[in-house]
Structure 1
Amino acid sequence: MFETLPGFRDFPPEDCARRNHLFRVFRTVAHAFNFSEYDAPILEPLDLYVEKSGEEIVGQLFHFEDKGNRRVALRPELTPTLARMVASRANALPKPIKWFNVGEHFRYERPQKGRGRSFYQFNADLLGESNLGADAELIALLVAIFETLGLSVRDFRIRLSDRTTWVLFLNALGVTEEQRPSVLDAIDKSERRKPEQNKESLENALPGRGEEILAEIDSIKKIDSLDALQNRLNECGDEGKERASQWFTLLEYLEGHGADDYIKIDLSIVRGLAYYTGFVYEAFEASGQGRALAGGGRYDHLIKKLSGNVDMPASGFAIGDMTLSDCLQSKGLLPTYILAPDLFLIGDHEERKSSLPIIARCRKAGFSVAYSLKNAAFGKQFKEAGKSGARYGLILGEDERIKNEIKIKDFRSGKEKTVSLKNLIEQLENLDEAGGIE
């Protein structure tokens, strides 16, 4: 017997309904923020990801050579594809560009809780605008999505940090531009490693200074208030003072959006991807348990890097469906959908020719209609209707057919009413509004 591949999931109807609930919320809230949906191929040139992340990314991808001898890969993320699309039409697109996508992605990693080899992501990006209002708009969108799903300030926090601030701090510590990527990588991984491992990584990056730099990094990571952050930035000269002012501006914008209660200054967040250039953030459960629910930040130079000639500021974030679903499930916030038809038509097999046009009319009017495909007696059809979960039964017998009528049965109350076939749709719509047969 065949099984799903490791790290891939089946979605039977009940699971598909819960997944689609997330997708509906993503789309509804994104539209409220005036983001437009886009889509793109799941198969891209492998070099697109190599150009962005280096050759080491290849081992994390589903990749192969196609029949045209092209190196291709299933997309692990959407940002490079977005950069490709926008760069090809940059002059024709009105700015700012506010796009979102809900789609499937693939990574060849060891499957574990909250991380599969196939997963869905909501991606939102705002391009062509460097103002901090764009960063605030995206964070506000993230908060609004989580609030719409039922999460509150008791459930999650957004840990806000800044790559520019870290660059200023590292410059002040004498870390060179060449050493900086290794140091930022060590900071990004520091919470998942033991202190000795962090010291070793920093010692490799800055021989003879590992212990000293680790102590300074630990001190910086303890900053959790705007005042303390401003004091440290003021030590970095005019650039530091300017960045402190930008921190104040962003937090003021977030307060205006009503998102400030969710924000926590946390400089341990630097985001592992090297292309981030400014404010970065990750959403975590307030309890601190589990993986990040979402993450993003500003990436002002990536479009130019991937296109070669289009320079455009950009910022964005992504929400993975697996960790979010786990979080919502643990809090009882994933609704259970009743997968049932609105109507179940019950009639003699002899009346089938008369009943099919009725079914077609109801379906065209927007009602979900089921009926028995077997030549079953009335009693068995009633049992089948009960198992289906339908709200109403439409009963068509010989008497009803002769009189051009049909009987509607309310399965909740047990009450019935007979109506003319001509007025059936109107009667059903009235019942919908009234909540049943009185």
Structure 2
Amino acid sequence: MSHKPLPGFRDFYPEQFAERAHIFDTWRRVVRRYAFQEYDGPPLEPLELYTQKSGEEIVTQLYNFVDKGERAVAMRPEMTPTFARMVGAKAQTLRKPVRWFSLPQLFRYERTQKGRLREHYQLNVDLVGEADVLADAELLSVALEIMRAFGLTAADVRARVSDRRLLNGLLTHLAIAEPAWPAVYTVLDKLERQPRELSAEKLAEAGLDDEAATAVLGFGALDFATMRARYGDAPAVQPHVARFAEYLAHCDALGVADWIRFDLTIVRGLAYYTGIVFELFDQVGEFRAICGGGRYDNLLKSLGGADLPALGFGMGDVVIGELLRARGLMPPTPSTVAIWVAQSPDTPDAPHAALRTAAALRGAGCTTEFALRVQKLDKQLESGRKAGAGTFVIVDPGMGDAPWRVRRTGNDDVIFSSLDALCAWASSNGTVR
């Protein structure tokens, strides 16, 4: 039998689990600060929930099967369909805007590569019931505040932001026929990764003339000010420029403007996005997108039956973990032991006195361990040091009225005559975990 997990899956030994816990704890701490509530759904859903959203071709990327009830089911590859179903079921009674988040484990059968496995955990943050661009600014602020909480700065991470409505207005102004828009989106999405000549060829195949193709190929170099000066007065573009300017002003007020780069090549691969979209990338360009999302105002109606504006993002644990390790920002695995209780092996009542001491310290909130068999005192202390303990309580009933000695590296022993006093001292001296 192989001792390795399946390809694309991970074992989480205590060190890796501690890293995952750090990511999860940071996610939860920040998102709850923005008043989002946590939810979850089943890891197994009807297959049609995903084919309805993404088409039958999605099946090749799923872990799907027919269950014992003859139902076609799949392990969830994403959370949005489940979210849409749940919101749709209670849309009339939910307080708006809905602010929900989840940390599901997701499964996709696809080729494994750097930053992408066949399973991962993902923070999903969604906001439903508000169409104003202030909601879009709030959503991006959440994602960037998470970056700050991990110790990253605007010098480390950039939010590349666009607006599908603005892009569509530009294409309309350039007299590019709407049936050609998907081909233009594809070219823009790959503009940085494929030769300019190939991009121009793809645009020509889509029916664009040289002037329109040249304009589209220049979109990647446009900052917002230049785009506004060049196209901002065009009737098809002007309202979208004004709205995006308002969005940027909100982002500035929220303290995240320094992280943002206007980028028309960010179109997001999923066809259901309808408004402002964004992706977070490390500035070095070493990793895949850290995070991606945007506005999807039509999706809830098609999946959950609730006609409500909505927006959200997903942030996976794989890429953010790789980035934090590469930048030296992943904290070391903490010791699990705060106090080690040792006993004098030469005193008859010492074993039970040590157990009572450990129980009292645990009751006071201190992470406490002791040797599970009789050992010499030096051996017990050595075991405690190997466990990472920094505080040792030596129990010796033979010492009469002061049977507890606390020993810390570099300090003189502190003597206690009361177990209550010992527990109070331990609780106030950094030994609570």
For the aligned pair, the TM-score class normalised by the smaller chain equals over 0.9
> Which range is displaced more, 164-173 or 296-305?
164-173
Contact 1:45/1:72 (<8 A) preserved: yes
1:362 matched residue in structure 2? 361
CA deviation after TM superposition for structure 1 residue 212, in Å: 5.8
Amino acid aligned to 1:427: W
d(CA) in 1 for partners of 2:339 and 2:209?
A: 71
2:225 matched residue in structure 1? 226
Contact 1:405/1:421 (<8 A) preserved: no
2:330 matched residue in structure 1? 334
**Which structure 2 residues correspond to residues 377-388 of structure 1 after superposition, within 5 A?**
377-388=376-387
1:166 aligned onto 2:167 = yes
1:52 matched residue in structure 2? 53
Amino acid aligned to 2:96: K
Amino acid aligned to 2:342: I
1:416 matched residue in structure 2? 414
d(CA) in 1 for partners of 2:220 and 2:48?
A: 36
Contact 2:397/2:403 (<8 A) preserved: no
> Which range is displaced more, 278-287 or 86-95?
278-287
Contact 1:199/1:210 (<8 A) preserved: no
Residues 380-429 of structure 1, C-alpha deviation per residue, up to 9 Å, x if partnerless? 111111111112112122414x6473222223535332332242211222
Amino acid aligned to 2:89: S
- TM-score, normalization by structure 1: 0.92
CA deviation after TM superposition for structure 1 residue 378, in Å: 1.8
d(CA) in 2 for partners of 1:127 and 1:85?
A: 12
d(CA) in 1 for partners of 2:169 and 2:224?
A: 18
Question: Aligned with 2:365: secondary structure?
Answer: coil
CA deviation after TM superposition for structure 1 residue 11, in Å: 1.5
CA deviation after TM superposition for structure 1 residue 230, in Å: 4.9
Residues 21-69 of structure 1, C-alpha deviation per residue, up to 9 Å, x if partnerless? 1111111111111111111112111111111111111111111111111
**Which structure 2 residues correspond to residues 101-180 of structure 1 after superposition, within 5 A?**
101-180=102-181
1:32 matched residue in structure 2? 33
CA deviation after TM superposition for structure 1 residue 340, in Å: 3.1
1:5 aligned onto 2:6 = yes
d(CA) in 1 for partners of 2:202 and 2:81?
A: 29
1:250 aligned onto 2:247 = yes
d(CA) in 1 for partners of 2:425 and 2:286?
A: 52
Cα pair distance change 1:199/1:180, threshold 3 Å: same
- TM-score, normalization by structure 2: 0.93
Contact 2:402/2:415 (<8 A) preserved: no
Cα pair distance change 1:95/1:261, threshold 3 Å: same
d(CA) in 2 for partners of 1:175 and 1:240?
A: 14
Amino acid aligned to 2:153: S
1:313 matched residue in structure 2? 309
Aligned length: 428
**Which structure 2 residues correspond to residues 157-306 of structure 1 after superposition, within 5 A?**
157-204=158-205, 206-207=206-207, 209=208, 213-235=212-234, 237=235, 239-306=236-303
Question: Aligned with 1:190: secondary structure?
Answer: coil
CA deviation after TM superposition for structure 1 residue 19, in Å: 1.6
d(CA) in 2 for partners of 1:35 and 1:422?
A: 41
Task: List gaps (5 residues or longer) in structure 1.
Answer: none
Residues 137-158 of structure 1, C-alpha deviation per residue, up to 9 Å, x if partnerless? 0111111110111111211111
Contact 1:98/1:127 (<8 A) preserved: yes
Q: Percent identity?
A: 37
Contact 1:198/1:214 (<8 A) preserved: no
CA RMSD in angstroms comes to 2.1
Residues 208-230 of structure 1, C-alpha deviation per residue, up to 9 Å, x if partnerless? x4766542311222211324235
Contact 2:391/2:408 (<8 A) preserved: yes
